[in-house]
Amino acid sequence: MSSNPNISLTRYLIELQRSNQIIPSELRLLLEVVARACKSISHAVNKGALGGVLGSAESENVQGEIQKKLDIIANEVLIEANEWGGHLAAMASEEMDDIYPVPNRYPQGEYLLLFDPLDGSSNIDVNVSIGTIFSVLKKPEGGAVVSKEDFLQSGAQQVAAGYCVYGPQTTLVLTVGQGVVAFTLDREQGSFVLTQNQFKIPEDTQEFAINMSNMRHWDEPVKRYVDECLQGVEGPRGKNFNMRWIASMVADVHRILTRGGVFMYPWDKREPNKAGKLRLMYEANPMSWIIEQAGGASTNGRERILDLQPSQLHERVSVVLGSKNEVERITAYHRGA
């Protein structure tokens, strides 16, 4: 872990822009605004009961899930931070049914921002890590008025993706297609400082993450994979496995990015008409790009997630991501190998 207190997020993005024109200034500004919003969300999360932000908001989101007060606070922070800057055409959020076009009183930009403002919110009230996940797309050319269809692009079209995990540290993880970098919030300076400038996920692992309580509902390929892991060194894998499940995708993915592992939230028989629990556009796509940029892999059990063509803004997807060789094995089992 390389920490360089002299490299702030701002300096990193300016030097990246200067070095290879990878990120236009509008995208750099967008990423800085998102980072500032994450700083505000982190502040609210850290206050917890002292800020009166815990507990339910007594409302439901588009997914039919009960919203926590912090879900709504985080969503409002991201909307208010990003709507006036002139770099966005519209936003989409797990917490909002329809897209949020930038109000006419502000200049329109060329980017689309999608986010899960506070992922893992079932963990908020029990003080377990949660996070913000975001994805940036370019608004398609033409078309005077931005529409929901403009968002329906495959994950391979993302121009930036990241998450901020609100845990023992507040850490912003980012990719713009040049590998993956991490910045830790220095609360004394009030700025994100570069603390990891390259991640490489080990291709093999002995650690898997899945909600085991759903075992009886899994499809056979998932049952086979997990059963082989549980057989340990005496079984076909010839090694013992450990299991983790934080029930906060941001935290599970950050662990895998840091030390390897495989994360699964597969389709199961509880709701057979749903492809999975996690959302494609603002959870699976950004996390999949980050994992691939760090040398890992991410499929829906059969196909590369970043290649999937979305048909709905809030569509769900089955997710298998992490150490490359494990993802390939699980995918091969699904394909009937």
Torsion of CA 98, 128, 245, 197, to 10 degrees: 80
The nearer residue to ligand P6P, 278 or 317, going by C-beta atoms, is 278
Interaction of residue 119 with ligand P6P, rule CB under 6 A = yes
Q: Which two tokens stand for residue 337?
A: 């190998």
Count Cα atoms within 13 angstroms, Cβ side, for 24.
8
Residue 148: alpha-carbon gap to chain centroid: 20
Q: Among residues 139 and 255, whose Cβ is nearest to ligand P6P?
A: 255
Q: If we measure between CA atoms, which residue out of 200, 136, 187 comes closest to residue 162?
A: 136
- Minimum distance of ligand P6P from residue 172's CB (angstroms): 17
> Per-residue DSSP letters for 234-291?
GSTT-S--EE---S-HHHHHHHHHHH--EEEE--BTTSTTSS-SEEIIIIIHHHHHHH
Tell whether residue 95 is a contact of ligand P6P (CB under 6 A).
no
**Among 122, 240, 242, 309, interactor with ligand P6P by CB under 6 A:** 122
- The stretch among 12-20, 119-127, 175-183, 188-196 that binds ligand P6P (CB under 6 A) is 119-127
Of residues 49-68, those binding ligand P6P (CB under 6 A): none
CB of 119 to ligand P6P, least distance (A): 5
Q: In whole angstroms, give the CA distance from residue 313 to residue 297.
A: 23
β-partners of residue 162 are 134, 174
Binding of ligand P6P at residue 332 (CB under 6 A)? no
74 or 89, CB closer to ligand P6P?
Answer: 74
Strand order through the sheet with 130-138: 100-101, 88-93, 111-119, 130-138, 160-166, 170-175, 181-186, 191-196
Compute the C-alpha angle 301/129/13, nearest 5°.
80
Q: How far is the CB of 224 from ligand P6P (least distance, A)?
A: 21
- Site membership for ligand P6P, residue 71 (CB under 6 A): no
Beta carbon nearer to ligand P6P, 22 or 96: 96
CB of 316 to ligand P6P, least distance (A): 10
Distances (CA, A) of 176 to 26, 132, 158: 13, 17, 8
In the complex, minimum distance from the CB of residue 217 to ligand P6P, in angstroms, rounded to a whole number: 11
Cα separation of 34 and 23, whole Å?
Answer: 15
Nearest C-alpha neighbor of 171 from the set 264, 253, 79, 75: 253
Q: Counting contacts by CB under 6 A, is residue 46 touching ligand P6P?
A: no
275 sits near ligand P6P (criterion: CB under 6 A): no
Given candidates 211, 240, 309, 312, which one binds ligand P6P under the rule CB under 6 A?
211
Which structure tokens are listed for 179?
């590998």
Q: In this complex, which beta carbon is closest to ligand P6P, that of residue 151 or of residue 265? A: 265
Give yes or no for residue 120 binding ligand P6P (CB under 6 A).
yes
CB nearer ligand P6P, residue 265 or residue 267: 265
Taking alpha carbons only, the member of 260, 264, 256 closest to residue 221 is 264
Q: How far is the CB of 201 from ligand P6P (least distance, A)?
A: 18
| Binding span for ligand P6P by CB under 6 A among 32-40, 53-61, 114-122, 300-308 | 114-122
Nearest residue (beta carbon) to ligand P6P: 249
The nearer residue to ligand P6P, 2 or 213, going by C-beta atoms, is 213
Footprint of ligand P6P on 232-251 (CB under 6 A)? 247-249
Q: Is 198 in the site for ligand P6P (CB under 6 A)?
A: no
Question: In 3D, which of 171, 173, 51, 166 has the Cα closest to residue 119?
Answer: 166
Residue numbers at the binding site for ligand P6P (CB under 6 A): 119-120, 122, 211, 247-249, 265, 277-278
